């Protein structure tokens, strides 16, 4: 653990923000301070140190973690003069876990810590039954791994903890901790249950921490809509939407996914659920855009593509991509059917996504109604000041 916590402000490392940025930061309480807002450092902070954030007039605005190379120079952990008290990190981890006990997810898998959304920048922790998978997005969190593991072990005694290295962040943030168990041991997989449907989560090799927990509530809604109907599940990953729909009584579900490994995992997941009739499930390894040239007609279509825009500069291309995809999807909806259209691009905001859906509707030539707006499930809270944290957006639409 870092020794930076607990020292006095005087003489400790810090960063100074440019004149004019202070008031904006204080008012917005945004969790990120971009490099261009910083005029200099004080006391040569090491990577991952807890630093004081000083105004141009030498007032302490708050405290945060320093990154030397990232576009985000400081990720705030608190605003105000008082330095976070020793033990603050463990306390926040426990509080984040406690929040999840107030919701019923009908699953033994849940996101326990959602980074900035739980005021713990750089830390994701997902519980998959007997294992908690931790993803560290900055060096500051790696330096405090022992404290994180001991807080999680306190809340879930005996649970294994697996650290999953995120290669994207590993490059930007000079991460050092390799993938592997930090507490206990195992084969890198867990079996979880979501509304009675079982899934093998391969967190060691799967995408992100292994499973898309954020879509849980939307899968429940899709399953309801698909009862007694047909479904097309585009960008299906390990088949979670498909299996939930089939378990709820969908008559036929076609899933389209480009990754052979994910298709293989989908078949394995189907085998874990002998109550689901396997003849209702069809797994197609293909490019979803190519598939949409001759898609047939389906009562319910789910389109949950990977992010098209990670940065602001990519937004324009992403808008074209989404409109192109969704208008094809809408054309393939059977008369009176529904589509669930998603974007997980952080740089595409809610309002823009609403415009994308409207444009796709117009181009499809169908009469399209917006039925319900969708977002990530309740175990993915977002800090009110952090619009970027609201990455998952969706709409249920109805097409005549």
Q: Which of these is catalytic: 97, 272, 338, 344?
A: 344
Binding to ligand SAH by residue 259, rule CB under 6 A?
Answer: yes
Kindly tell me which of 88 and 203 has the beta carbon lying closer to ligand SAH.
203
Kindly tell me which of 262 and 318 has the beta carbon lying closer to ligand SAH.
262
Distance CA 106, CA 217 (A): 10
Binding to ligand SAH by residue 155, rule CB under 6 A?
Answer: no
Which range binds ligand SAH by CB under 6 A, 38-46, 180-188, 255-263, 350-358?
255-263
User: What string of DSSP letters covers 339-383?
Assistant: EEEEE--TTS-HHHHHHHHHHHHHHHTS-EEEEEEEE--TTS---
Interface with ligand SAH in residues 283-342 (CB under 6 A): 287-289, 304, 306
Return the DSSP state at 301. E
Sequence length of the chain is 400
Where do we find the tokens 């653990």? 1
Handedness of CA 341, 343, 349, 352 (dihedral sign): negative
Least distance from ligand SAH to the Cβ atom of residue 353, Å: 17
Binding to ligand SAH by residue 241, rule CB under 6 A?
Answer: yes
Binding to ligand SAH by residue 235, rule CB under 6 A?
Answer: yes
Mark 195-234 with x for binding to ligand SAH (rule: CB under 6 A) and - for no binding: ------------x----x--x-------------------
Which residues are registered as beta bridge partners of 370? Answer: 397
Label residue 304 exposed, middle or buried (CB < 10 Å: 0-12, 13-18, 19+).
buried
Where do we find the tokens 């995992």? 265
Query: Which tokens in the block code for residue 309?
Result: 């825009």
Residue 230, sorted as left (phi over 0), alpha (psi -120 to 50) or beta, turns out to be beta
Binding to ligand SAH by residue 267, rule CB under 6 A?
Answer: no
Least distance from ligand SAH to the Cβ atom of residue 236, Å: 6
Kindly tell me which of 93 and 262 has the beta carbon lying closer to ligand SAH.
262
Distance CA 360, CA 72 (A): 34
Kindly tell me which of 306 and 365 has the beta carbon lying closer to ligand SAH.
306
Least distance from ligand SAH to the Cβ atom of residue 344, Å: 8
Which range binds ligand SAH by CB under 6 A, 135-143, 222-230, 251-259, 384-392?
251-259
Query: Which tokens in the block code for residue 109?
Result: 């898998």
Least distance from ligand SAH to the Cβ atom of residue 158, Å: 28
Of these, 173, 257, 299, 379, which contacts ligand SAH (CB under 6 A)?
257
Q: Cβ distance 181 to 161 under 8 Å?
A: yes
The answer to whether 272 is a known catalytic residue is: no
Binding to ligand SAH by residue 262, rule CB under 6 A?
Answer: yes
Binding to ligand SAH by residue 240, rule CB under 6 A?
Answer: yes
Query: Which tokens in the block code for residue 76?
Result: 């705030």
Least distance from ligand SAH to the Cβ atom of residue 301, Å: 12
- The β-bridge relationship of strands 123-128 and 109-114 is antiparallel
Of these, 162, 237, 308, 322, which contacts ligand SAH (CB under 6 A)?
237
| Cα–Cα separations (whole angstroms), residue 272 to 52, 56, 193, 239, 268 | 51, 60, 10, 12, 6
Kindly tell me which of 151 and 303 has the beta carbon lying closer to ligand SAH.
303
Residue from 243, 164, 245 nearest 210 by CA: 164
Instruction: List interacting residues with ligand SAH (CB under 6 A).
Output: 207, 212, 215, 235, 237-238, 240-241, 256-259, 262, 287-289, 304, 306
Residues labelled catalytic: 344
């Amino acid at each position: 653990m870092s020794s930076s916590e607990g020292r006095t402000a005087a003489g400790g490392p810090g960063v100074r923000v440019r004149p004019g940025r202070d008031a904006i930061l204080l008012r917005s309480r945004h969790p990120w301070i971009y490099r261009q807002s910083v005029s200099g450092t004080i006391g040569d902070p090491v990577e991952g140190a807890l630093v004081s954030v000083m105004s141009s007039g030498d007032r302490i605005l708050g405290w945060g973690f320093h990154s030397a190379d990232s576009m985000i120079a400081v990720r705030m952990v608190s605003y105000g003069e008082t330095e976070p008290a020793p033990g603050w990190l463990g306390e926040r981890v426990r509080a984040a876990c406690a929040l999840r006990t107030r919701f019923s997810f009908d699953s033994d898998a849940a996101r326990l810590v959602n980074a900035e959304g739980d005021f713990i920048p750089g830390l994701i922790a997902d519980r998959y039954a007997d294992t908690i998978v931790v993803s560290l997005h900055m060096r500051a969190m790696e330096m405090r791994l022992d404290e994180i593991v001991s807080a999680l072990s306190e809340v879930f005694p005996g649970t294994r903890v697996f650290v999953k290295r995120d290669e994207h962040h590993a490059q930007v943030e000079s991460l050092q901790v390799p993938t592997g168990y930090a507490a206990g041991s195992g084969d890198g997989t867990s079996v979880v249950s979501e509304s009675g449907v079982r899934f093998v989560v391969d967190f060691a090799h799967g995408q992100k921490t292994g499973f898309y927990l954020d879509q849980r509530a939307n899968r429940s809604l899709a399953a309801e809509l698909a009862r007694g109907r047909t479904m097309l599940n585009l960008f299906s990953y390990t088949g979670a939407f498909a299996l939930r729909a089939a378990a709820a009584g969908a008559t036929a579900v076609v899933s389209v996914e480009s990754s052979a490994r994910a298709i293989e995992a989908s078949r394995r997941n189907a085998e874990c659920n002998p109550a689901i009739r396997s003849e209702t499930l069809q797994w197609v390894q293909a490019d979803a855009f190519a598939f949409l040239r001759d898609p047939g007609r389906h009562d319910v279509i789910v389109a949950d593509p990977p992010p098209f825009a990670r940065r602001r500069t990519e937004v324009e291309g992403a808008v074209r991509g989404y409109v192109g995809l969704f208008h094809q999807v809408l054309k393939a909806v059977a008369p009176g059917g529904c589509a669930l259209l998603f974007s997980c691009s952080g740089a595409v905001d809610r309002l823009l996504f609403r415009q994308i859906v409207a444009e796709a509707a117009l181009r499809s030539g169908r009469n399209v109604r917006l039925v319900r707006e969708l977002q990530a499930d309740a175990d993915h809270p977002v800090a009110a000041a952090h619009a970027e944290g609201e990455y998952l957006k969706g709409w249920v639409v109805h097409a005549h």
